[in-house]
Chains A and B, each alone.
Chain A
């Protein structure tokens, strides 16, 4: 390169500045504001000094630990959905990676990802038609004589929330697992079997550990949006089982309590952050095993 590093750096910074300024002003500044508001005193529609830890205390010590329970519930639902989604997706990714001819792989992946690109709202709403009162599941069960009352699965909020979210985020999980399976050196598997291991043992000892980074990535990709999902609890759960996103909405919009809503937002970001770091550390462990 004829250019010195200085001018290259200048050119790079100049080129990235529109995008960088956009995210600094419209993402970094708002996030910093939320962080700041979360330690200020709030009333209806106003924010003022002094600095206080009361908003966080409210989250932890609300009567009967109601808010703590909601955060815990959101976390458990998201972890449950993540676990189910990843478990369901793994065999699919394995099939496409190991049993589909190379030229057909992208077709299969395309088929798996199409539903993800169709309207999320419509997919969630369709579950309402399927699981709700007098919905398709109820009709089928009644006409088969299995039950004669409307089960209305949608009213069992948590169960239906888990079903709907596991369906909505299914394609997300297949792709990262597929990518890591593609990277597994096929000769290692042959070596394992040549040395007399069964295919199942080879899978457990070679393929599964090597594909673990993909599994962790899939878990993260599913976990993050499900923790903050707003639509599903609102529509399928009938709003009876609010999750963390619904609480943030109530505080910020309905009660106009910016500091309290901000504290919830920060607390949920912390929760997502801690779990994500735990996932990444798990990933590091498995990479360590490979070496």
Chain B
């Protein structure tokens, strides 16, 4: 490898730019001052205490967890159907169907939210956590399909054929051979969808009709300067939470690739 000090310096600077705002989170979450300003005033856990005592915040967090869990489950299941079908079978209309499933990746989220909202309002359906789940599944499914497609692709077809030859049915082959091998991909898909849903704002805001949901709650609170320090405390917790989930997802993904005997190229096949 050739040394490239300028490029390396630039890249480190770029990382600093990327991480800069996030690094502010823990600094001011522990700072004993109502104003977010340097110089720092000393350590405190008050903001975390204020955060923990906030009843609305708890409701919002609970709702967000319910939504994220449902969305991750449904998206992953829909993703399994689509990925398995597209990897394993040839059928008419495959290209347009897959394009439709992946479409939310290339549509501004606002359009997806508004289109669904127009239909829901026209049909007179009451907005609720359920409508948020329905909308977020549309956004998360393409991610699930992408992850699961690579999991199914790295699956050795001869293992399935061996199982069928040895007298297992298609269903039991799927359960005994395919499912365990793609399990890490399923876990990774679940965790990624969970993270996306947990952070998602637009659909939560417009299809939730003001129900307390974490991202919507945070969006509202940042407008009040007095609330900012406890929001930073909350942000610190959320960032740690996201990083843990992602670490697990990444570990699962790598284990899945290793299990299937593939080589790891950083998830960029």
A112 touches B18 (CB 8 A): yes
CB contact under 8 A between A9 and B91, given known A19-B78, A29-B119: yes
B21 touches A167 (CB 8 A): yes
A86 at the interface (CB under 8 A from B): no
B111 touches A265 (CB 8 A): yes
The CA-CA distance from A137 to B109 in the complex, in Å, is 31
A119 at the interface (CB under 8 A from B): yes
A109 at the interface (CB under 8 A from B): yes
A34 touches B114 (CB 8 A): yes
When distances are taken between beta carbons in the complex, the residues of chain B under 8 Å from A43 are: none
Number of residues of chain A lying within 8 A (CB) of chain B: 91
CB contact under 8 A between A95 and B8, given known A118-B243, A230-B202: yes
CB contact under 8 A between A117 and B242, given known A16-B91, A19-B82, A258-B118: yes
Q: Most B CB atoms within 10 A — which of A109, A182, A224?
A: A224
Q: Mark B143-178, 1 if CB is under 8 A from A, else 0.
A: 001000000000000000000000000000000000
Instruction: Tell which of B40-48, B51-59, B134-142, B180-188 binds the partner.
Output: B134-142
The CA-CA distance from A29 to B213 in the complex, in Å, is 27
CB contact under 8 A between A118 and B81, given known A30-B118, A47-B122, A167-B21: no
B209 smallest CB distance to A (angstroms) = 10
A33 touches B115 (CB 8 A): yes
A122 touches B235 (CB 8 A): yes
The CA-CA distance from A33 to B115 in the complex, in Å, is 7
The CA-CA distance from A20 to B100 in the complex, in Å, is 8
Contact of A130 among B2, B21, B94 (CB under 8 A): B21
A225 smallest CB distance to B (angstroms) = 6
B258 at the interface (CB under 8 A from A): no
B22 at the interface (CB under 8 A from A): yes
The CA-CA distance from A252 to B242 in the complex, in Å, is 33
Number of residues of chain B lying within 8 A (CB) of chain A: 87
Q: Mark B98-129, 1 if CB is under 8 A from A, else 0.
A: 00110110111111101111110110000000
When distances are taken between beta carbons in the complex, the residues of chain A under 8 Å from B135 are: 26
The CA-CA distance from A37 to B118 in the complex, in Å, is 9
Q: Most B CB atoms within 10 A — which of A18, A122, A171, A179?
A: A122
Q: Most B CB atoms within 10 A — which of A95, A101, A268?
A: A95
B11 touches A92 (CB 8 A): yes
B residues 224-269 with Cβ under 8 Å of A? 228, 231, 235, 238-239, 242-243, 246, 250, 264-268
A96 at the interface (CB under 8 A from B): yes
When distances are taken between beta carbons in the complex, the residues of chain A under 8 Å from B122 are: 33, 47, 258
When distances are taken between beta carbons in the complex, the residues of chain B under 8 Å from A23 are: 100-101, 103, 138, 141
Q: Most A CB atoms within 10 A — which of B21, B122, B206?
A: B21
Contact of A119 among B8, B100, B134, B238 (CB under 8 A): B238
A136 touches B266 (CB 8 A): no
CB contact under 8 A between A175 and B86, given known A99-B2, A122-B25, A125-B219: no
A31 touches B115 (CB 8 A): yes
B211 at the interface (CB under 8 A from A): no
CB contact under 8 A between A228 and B89, given known A23-B100, A26-B134, A128-B222: no
When distances are taken between beta carbons in the complex, the residues of chain A under 8 Å from B10 are: 91-92, 95
The CA-CA distance from A103 to B81 in the complex, in Å, is 34
B89 touches A11 (CB 8 A): yes
A99 touches B8 (CB 8 A): yes
Given contacts A122-B235, A229-B110, could you give 17 more A-B pairs where the C-beta distance is less than 8 Å? A12-B88, A13-B93, A15-B89, A16-B94, A19-B141, A20-B82, A20-B97, A22-B78, A30-B119, A33-B122, A47-B122, A98-B4, A120-B199, A134-B35, A135-B36, A249-B206, A253-B206
What are 8 A-B pairs with beta-carbon distances under 8 A? A9-B91, A26-B116, A119-B198, A120-B201, A136-B38, A224-B107, A248-B110, A272-B108
Binding site for B on A (CB under 8 A): 5, 8-13, 15-20, 22-24, 26-31, 33-34, 37, 47, 88, 91-92, 94-96, 98-101, 105-106, 109-112, 114-115, 117-123, 125-130, 134-136, 139-140, 167, 170-171, 175, 178-179, 182, 220, 224-225, 227-231, 235, 245, 248-249, 252-253, 258, 261-262, 265, 268-269, 272, 276
Q: Across the A-B interface, give the 5 residue pairs with the lowest CB-CB distance, nearest first.
A: A228-B108, A12-B89, A12-B91, A30-B115, A16-B85
Binding site for A on B (CB under 8 A): 1-4, 7-8, 10-11, 14-15, 17-19, 21-22, 24-25, 28, 35-38, 77-79, 81-82, 84-86, 88-94, 97, 100-101, 103-104, 106-112, 114-119, 121-122, 134-135, 137-138, 141, 145, 195, 198-199, 201-202, 206, 215, 218-219, 222, 228, 231, 235, 238-239, 242-243, 246, 250, 264-268
